[in-house]
Chains A and B, each alone.
Chain A
Amino acid sequence: GDSVTQMEGPVTLSEEAFLTINCTYTATGYPSLFWYVQYPGEGLQLLLKATKADDKGSNKGFEATYRKETTSFHLEKGSVQVSDSAVYFCARAGANNLFFGTGTRLTVIP
């Protein structure tokens, strides 16, 4: 069935390290893809999105490219900061909702 699989955490990185969080999806066709971020004690907020194949979404130094060949939408950032510590969710659009991955907790230490 339709699903989103993302890299399990938790992930702990030192400040200025490179970040990759893997995400793959299964779906019929080419759904819109999203990365949401949840900071401690808050709701989810959109980090970036891509609405068609080969699109690259970017925001706050984070990037993800919609790759239909590998059905992937991996999240990357070249140099993480302590303020990036949060839980990251990959999601794909469905007919009436979003299908979410299980979330990856990132902790960045100074």
Chain B
Amino acid sequence: NAGVTQTPKFQVLKTGQSMTLQCAQDMNHEYMSWYRQDPGMGLRLIHYSVGAGITDQGEVPNGYNVSRSTTEDFPLRLLSAAPSQTSVYFCASRETSGGRSDTQYFGPGTRLTVL
């Protein structure tokens, strides 16, 4: 098992550019999510999905879109990048959508800089 994989590891964008952060998991997990990590703020939830075809907003969804066409993949799209989106992005998954005690597995992260 590769677990949760993310690409790219690093990315530099100019303001207004768009891009997609990729996330995939091979554990057949129902639940997937995206967090951003900023200094002094811990991790904050951007969007999440409880299964293929189902997504919902988290704490900080503005400026980001997601889709879940398959169980394995959960890409995060930045439509028009802004400097405020400079952050480290983590994708995570857990086995069941309702399993609040389940362990969440995190990818290695994508470090994004928006100039």
Q: Footprint of B on A, CB under 8 Å?
A: 4, 31-32, 34, 36, 41-46, 49, 51, 89, 93-98, 100-103
Pairs A–B under 8 Å by Cβ, sample size 29: A31-B100, A34-B103, A43-B4, A43-B107, A44-B92, A44-B106, A45-B105, A46-B103, A46-B104, A46-B105, A49-B103, A51-B101, A89-B42, A89-B43, A93-B100, A93-B101, A94-B100, A96-B48, A96-B50, A96-B58, A97-B45, A97-B48, A97-B58, A97-B59, A98-B45, A100-B43, A100-B44, A101-B42, A102-B42
Q: Which 9 pairs from chain A and chain B are nearest by CB? A: A100-B42, A43-B106, A32-B101, A93-B100, A51-B101, A97-B45, A44-B106, A100-B43, A102-B42
- B-side interface residues, number (CB < 8 Å): 24
Which residues in A have their C-beta under 8 angstroms from that of B41? 102
Which residues in A have their C-beta under 8 angstroms from that of B43? 44, 89, 98, 100
Given known pairs A43-B90, A89-B42, A103-B42, the reply for A98 and B107 (CB within 8 Å) is no
Q: Footprint of A on B, CB under 8 Å?
A: 4, 33, 40-45, 48, 50, 56, 58-59, 90, 92, 100-101, 103-109
Of B40, B44, B48, B90, the residue contacting A44 (CB under 8 A) is B90
Which residues in B have their C-beta under 8 angstroms from that of A103? 42
Which residues in A have their C-beta under 8 angstroms from that of B44? 100
Query: Which of A45, A93, A96, A103 has most B Cβ within 10 Å?
Result: A96
Taking the closest CB of chain B, its distance from the CB of A50, in whole angstroms, is: 9
